[in-house]
Structure 1
Amino acid sequence: MIMLKEFKEFIMKGNILDLAVAVIIGAAFKTVISSFVNDILMPPIGMALGGVDFSDLRYTIQEASDGVEAVAINYGAFTQTLIDFLIIAFVIFMVLKAYNSMQKKKEEAPAAPPAPSNEEVLLGEIRDLLKK
């Protein structure tokens, strides 16, 4: 029973929940980036390279024969995965760079001076009256 209570406290910590949300959003972001690369980015690149479909690029080590599938190195699929990774890494870099610059601006922003106390206000009024 004690272990269950400790586990519940561990799960309910803010960092764990933040991490879980980040993983879920990251997985969704990966599918968006994969679609962007596969459906938008790679077709024009393939067309520019002479109609090459990157997912079909492979080096065949052994041809298929007698019900045995071909053995091939699919470097085209790897290229698309590498481009996915680079785009995701760049976007995360830009997000972190923007976050760090916002944090730096918060630190650099001077705090507003505190409002004068009642004693200071009264002393200022007395000074102004004495000047008259």
Structure 2
Amino acid sequence: MLSEFKAFIAQGNVLDLAVGIIIGAAFTKIVNSLVEDILNPIIGLVMGGVDLTQLKVVLREAVGTAPEVAIRYGNFLNNIIQFLIVAFVIFMLVKAANKSRIAKLAAATA
């Protein structure tokens, strides 16, 4: 059983997945920093000094110990920006991989 487990772990797909997860986690930090530290201040400046993450519609003010009820659309916009950046980068990576694969196939048949 241990030898089967070692063979499973040594497969390329498992190692590729592990590398992808680690790089994905690091990339997420970079995208979060890009959005929160660079893009949000620029968007806020254009909007007249508004902090994008603080944009909200208050449905009910806080009363006593009951917290406020609000729709925090600024956080939602922030997450949309992050998603679009990640999706664009993944698109570019897939496009480059497909182009490389086509070039390898063309070279192999030539």
Q: Does the pair score TM above 0.5?
A: yes
Gaps of 5+ in 1: 113-132
One-letter amino acid of the counterpart of residue 100, structure 1: N
2:14 matches 1:25: no
Which amino acid is the alignment partner of residue 27 of structure 1?
A
Question: 1:6, 1:65 → 2: CA distance?
Answer: 61
Of the three residues 44, 47, 52, the one matched with 2:45 is 47
Structure 2 partner of 1:63: 61
How many residues are paired up?
A: 110
CA RMSD of aligned residues (A): 1.8
Q: Percent identity?
A: 51
Please tell me the residue identity of whatever aligns with 2:31: I
CA shift, 1:110, in A, is 5.7
CA distance in 2, matches of 1:71, 1:8: 52
Return the alpha-carbon distance in structure 2 between the equivalents of residues 83 and 67 of structure 1: 34
Q: 2:60 corresponds to which letter in structure 1?
A: Q
| CA deviation vs aligned residue, 1:50-97 (integer Å, no higher than 9, x gap) | 222110011112211112211212110111011001001101100111
Corresponding residue of 2:75: 77
TM-score of the aligned structures, taking structure 1 as reference length: 0.75
Q: Give CA deviations for 1:76-130 in whole Å, capped at 9, x if unaligned.
A: 0111011001001101100111111111111112667xxxxxxxxxxxxxxxxxx
